[in-house]
Structure 1
Amino acid sequence: MPRLENRPAFRVLTSLLLGSGAGLCMSVSLAAPVVNGYVMDVQMVPAVCAYDPLKNKKRKCLEGYSLNITGLYPETNSKDCTTNSSPKLPPLQAKVVARIMPDENARVALWHNIGGCVPMNASQYFRTVINHADKLKVPEELTSQETRVMQVGVLRNKMVRMNSGLAGQSIEFNCMQTHGSSMLTEIQICYKNNGQYKHCPTTVVGNCPASFTIKGSF
């Protein structure tokens, strides 16, 4: 499989880990959960693998992936989003999903944690993740082998220009403090139920300073 950093668009996203965003599930009621949109969490693989040596043996680290989806999380009124429904996919679809989400255990954990708040079955859900990943384009700085410092405003503007309908308020950036500097570890993209971009809810807040380091690919 070609490595991510050699491709210009986000359709080549690879891998999945359960990550932040689960906190979007909010309160109450025995009625069917109301979904007001979704947040896709995109992880910067080189930064996360460098920060946490325990992850170095994961496929995404060993094979040099640049980007990785940790989940497409529902913005919902339900406190409990768990489900016992099966995350098993048809063999052909499982092959396609594995190209962008190679960690099967993480896919299973993700579905069991959020599937109860998603008005789709597992096959439809993972197809939606793939469709969002196919549509989203990212600047080459995010998949480059070169480590660099970048302004948050510059990166935000580049992504807005590359993606029709994407607004600056539809993107949040999260960073990790390491050795006295900030390193980009995650990008969050907010969607309406129909897959169009929307302004992120108040529950989605970035923590990056005005400039940060983007770690190059392995």
Structure 2
Amino acid sequence: MKIMKDRQVWTGSAALVVLAGSSAAFAAPTEYVMDVQMVPAFCSLYPEYAKKRKCLEGYSLSISGLYPQTTSQNCTTHSSAKLSPLQAKVVARIMPDDNTRAILWRNVGGCVPMNASQYFRTIINYADRLKVPEELTEQENITISVDTLRAKFLKINPQLPSNALRFNCQQIQSASVLTSIKVCYRFNGNYKSCPANIINTCPKIVTIKGTY
């Protein structure tokens, strides 16, 4: 999923990676939350993002991470985040910055029963399966109600429950700008209702910043 100025969209589906046989010495998390980042919003809100590849190349969306829901206070790992050149190229469609991927793995790898290659393959599978409304990849700013945006997600993703989505915003002057969408999953990759600690931070009406 690389959504750039030509507005490629997420389509198709992929088989979920099999995680059985892991030697992880901890109880596997039963839930995951995938964070879909609205790149134009972040690039305009935070100057430090401006030189990141996803900003420079005009991405509309990217994945900031797939986060295990766990009681552990420390999910860091010292295992390698290195991917094969082919896999790195595929992952770059939705997570283009190498250093960002390495930091993500270092921060969550200790709480997932898989290695880095399996983890990023899982993210690819989840992203490939999730279809996104065209409003999220337009080149112009759009004002839309959260209820309408949710309904559009549900229409093109029949297996997605309405309460499996959470919308996050940041207030800028008089507008609430959509910055990310969180999608909740069971361990087996099926969608599920988001837990209570994953909340909406958007009002009824939001602004989606267009690709710049």
Corresponding residue for 1:70? Answer: 64
Corresponding residue for 1:161? Answer: 155
SS at match of 1:183: strand
- In the TM superposition, residue 201 of structure 1 has moved relative to its aligned partner by 0.6
Across the two proteins, how many residue pairs are aligned to each other?
A: 199
SS at match of 2:158: coil
RMSD over aligned CA atoms reads 1.6
Name whichever structure is richer in helix by fraction.
Answer: 1
Q: Deviations over 1:32-74 (max 9, x none)?
A: 1440210000110111111112211111111111001100000
Alignment of 1:191 onto 2:192: no
TM-score of the superposition, structure 2-length normalised? 0.89
Amino acid at match of 2:126: H
SS at match of 1:190: strand
Alignment of 1:99 onto 2:100: no
Once the two structures are superposed, the pairs formed by residues 28-107 of structure 1 within 5 Å of their partners are 32-107=26-101
Corresponding residue for 1:8? Answer: 9
The CA distance in 2 between the partners of 1:143 and 1:177, in whole Å, is 20
**Preserved contact between residue 34 and residue 77 of structure 1 (Cα < 8 Å):** no
The CA distance in 2 between the partners of 1:6 and 1:71, in whole Å, is 21
Q: Deviations over 1:147-201 (max 9, x none)?
A: 0110000000110111121011000000001012200000000001111100001
Amino acid at match of 1:37: E
Q: Which runs of 5+ in 1 are unaligned?
A: 12-30
**Preserved contact between residue 33 and residue 76 of structure 1 (Cα < 8 Å):** no
Q: Which runs of 5+ in 2 are unaligned?
A: 13-24
- In the TM superposition, residue 98 of structure 1 has moved relative to its aligned partner by 1.9
**Preserved contact between residue 3 and residue 137 of structure 2 (Cα < 8 Å):** no
Deviating runs (4+, > 6 A) in structure 1? none
TM-score of the superposition, structure 1-length normalised? 0.87
The CA distance in 2 between the partners of 1:200 and 1:9, in whole Å, is 22
2:171 pairs, out of 177, 180, 185, with: 177
- In the TM superposition, residue 2 of structure 1 has moved relative to its aligned partner by 7.3
Corresponding residue for 1:110? Answer: 104
- In the TM superposition, residue 214 of structure 1 has moved relative to its aligned partner by 0.6
Q: Percent identity?
A: 56
**Preserved contact between residue 33 and residue 78 of structure 1 (Cα < 8 Å):** no
